[in-house]
Structures are given as C-alpha cells and as structure tokens.
Amino acid sequence: MNDDTSPVHRSGFACLVGRPNVGKSTLTNALVGEKVAIMSARPQTTRHTIRGIVHRPDAQLILVDTPGLHRPRTLLGERLNDLVRDTLSEVDVIAFCLPADQKVGPGDRYIAQQLAELMRGRRAVPVVAVVTKADAVERSVMVEHLIAVQELAKSVEREWADIVPVSAKDGFQVGELSDVLVGHLPEGPELYPGGELTDEPEAVMVAELVREAALEGVRDELPHSLAVVVEEIVEREGTGDEKKGRPPLLDVRVNLFVERDSQKAIVIGRGGSRLRSVGTEARRGIEALLGARVYLDLHVKVAKDWQRDPKQLRRLGF
C-alpha cells in the first residue's frame, strides 16, 4: 500500500454516538456504502459489534457500535453506560451526532457531559460533532444550530475536534466526514484484509461469536485486548451430502490473541476446562450461523500490545 501515491495508510476505530433517531444507522450505511455494510448477529448490548468498515485506498475505518448513551435511571443503566464508556475510551475518534432539525436538548447535553470526561487526559479521544440531516433545514437554521453545537462544547469546557454538517439522505458531505474521521486515525495497516471481509462477513461473525464466548463471565478480568482472528474456514472434503440432508463439516481454525500470560491462563482455565466450554458455546453459534457442522479449533496466543503495534498486527496476519 505504501507507494508514492499513498504514502500513509491509516487504520482504526470510530464510534457514532447520539440520541436515538438522530440518524446514526443511516449515516453508517452512507459512510460504508451498501456493498460493504455488515450487520452483526449479536445483540445490541454487547460491545465492539462492528457496524461496518470503510475501505479506502488510504485508510480503513472500522465503525463500532455501542448500546447508546442515555441518562441512567437504574443501576443497570449505569452499568451499561460504564460499558459504553469503556468502548468509547478505546476508539480513535468519536462522532457525536446531533440532528439539524432538532434543537440541542437535555439528552444531547447529557451525552456531551459524558464525552467531556473522555476528551481529556493522556488518552483523550477526539470528538467530532456531526450535524446530521442537513437536508432537513434551511441554511439559516443550520447556522444557528452550528452555533448551538459550538456552545454545547463550551458548556462542558471542551472543544470539538471538528464540526461537520452532513446529510446521509442526499450524500452531502459524507465524503468529507469520512476524510475528517480518517484524519484522526493512527497510521497503520489494514486491520481487516481488504475485500475479504466484504465478501465474507461470516468470518467476522464467527470471530465475534468466539470473542463473545471467550469473554463470557470474565469480562471484568480480561481487558478489552482480546483479538480474535479467523485463520480459515474450510470444508472437509466429501463430508456433505445434500441429497441425504447431511450438512458439510467445516474446519474452523481461530486464534485468540491476548496481551499477557495471565490473560492466557484466564481464557484457557484450569486444565483447559474454560477453553473447552468456550469452544462448545461458540461452536453452537457458528453451526447455527453457517448451517453446517463445525469442527472448531481454538488457539490462545500471547502477543504483547498487539493493538497499537503495526509490526505485531502484521505478524498476526492483519
């Protein structure tokens, strides 16, 4: 990728946040383009569901989902918001969506306050204010709205990294938003080999099923640095027979990467007991997903700081 015309390749994660109905899903689809839209089979409350991947010659932008920030009314709500904050603290850039056709309100202010916490400190995450549904308002309303959005940042004593008005409906400034978000990504190689993912969302879903199973019950002990790489999904020859209603047998080989030996021990469990149940659980999901019998081969490996180190990422086959 590093030739004269594209000297820098960037890659990383972004998250679209905002009140319900502000246009996050529509914008995700507009950014990603229909061809590569990926919808995960996973429920909304789980973390790091990949909503879509923006493939560009100069960058790969991975859009991750969160359950949404809202004012907690219950303890569960608070817990959920903690999870959201964890996700948000890990992404490279946050896009805070505020619809042009609605005044900045208490819901937006609540989210702004939450984001303010993430916008400071050593690992501050840049937040881009995205004014969605630009097509729905007159220019004068847009101008007023942009001022209100600017004021919102001031009210929490922060600054937005950028403010970008867009319309997912007519495509206005969607490319610009993509450029702005990519500008906040670190330099790095493609995290998901191009093409493959677009043609094979199965691999992503398989990885997510394994990841979910591996995190089940140990979410608090394991940091979020668990990388799951599907090495291969191959059909074992001569095992399927449609006429006899026998599904094929697939060999699915998956590597789980953690950052430390202690984490490896957690994933594997005493005498390998935990890894076996992770395998059983994940296999069930994969069989349901792929409609095949599955032989699932899981390997746990230690790769220090894999998330940030391009060399490691390459070694891991990213």
Contact residues for ligand GTP (CB under 6 A)?
18, 20-26, 68, 132-133, 135-136, 167-169
The reply, when asked if residue 310 is annotated as ligand binding, is no
Residue whose CB is less far from ligand GTP, 22 or 182: 22
- Short-list 290, 298, 286, 209, CA closest to 248: 290
CB of residue 37 to ligand GTP, shortest distance in Å: 13
The reply, when asked if residue 99 is annotated as ligand binding, is no
Residue whose CB is less far from ligand GTP, 137 or 197: 137
Residue whose CB is less far from ligand GTP, 172 or 249: 172
Residue whose CB is less far from ligand GTP, 175 or 186: 175
Q: Which contiguous run of DSSP H or E holds residue 250?
A: strand 249-258
The reply, when asked if residue 22 is annotated as ligand binding, is yes
Query: For tokens 């246009």, what's the residue?
Result: 23
- Short-list 147, 155, 66, 65, CA closest to 100: 147
Q: Determine if residue 155 is left, alpha or beta; phi over 0 gives left, psi from -120 to 50 gives alpha, anything else beta.
A: alpha
The reply, when asked if residue 134 is annotated as ligand binding, is yes
The reply, when asked if residue 69 is annotated as ligand binding, is yes
Residue whose CB is less far from ligand GTP, 37 or 168: 168
The reply, when asked if residue 132 is annotated as ligand binding, is yes
Rg (CA), the chain: 21
Residue whose CB is less far from ligand GTP, 20 or 271: 20
The reply, when asked if residue 248 is annotated as ligand binding, is no
CB of residue 107 to ligand GTP, shortest distance in Å: 11
CB of residue 180 to ligand GTP, shortest distance in Å: 17
Q: DSSP readout, 24-87?
A: HHHHHHHHH-GGGB---SS-TTSS-EEEEEEEETTEEEEEEE--------SHHHHHHHHHHHHH
| Helix axis angle, 201-215 to 273-290, nearest 10° | 150
Residue whose CB is less far from ligand GTP, 25 or 307: 25
CB of residue 219 to ligand GTP, shortest distance in Å: 24
The reply, when asked if residue 21 is annotated as ligand binding, is yes
User: Could you give the CA distance from residue 87 to residue 89 in angstroms, rounded to a whole number?
Assistant: 5
Query: For tokens 């817990």, what's the residue?
Result: 79
CB of residue 21 to ligand GTP, shortest distance in Å: 4
Q: What is the DSSP letter of 241?
A: B
Angle CA 119–122–124, to nearest 5: 20
CB of residue 16 to ligand GTP, shortest distance in Å: 8
Question: Edge-to-edge, what's the strand order for the sheet holding 249-258?
Answer: 227-235, 249-258, 293-302
CB of residue 68 to ligand GTP, shortest distance in Å: 6
Which parts are annotated binding residues for GTP?
18-25, 65-69, 132-135
Which parts are annotated binding residues?
18-25, 65-69, 132-135
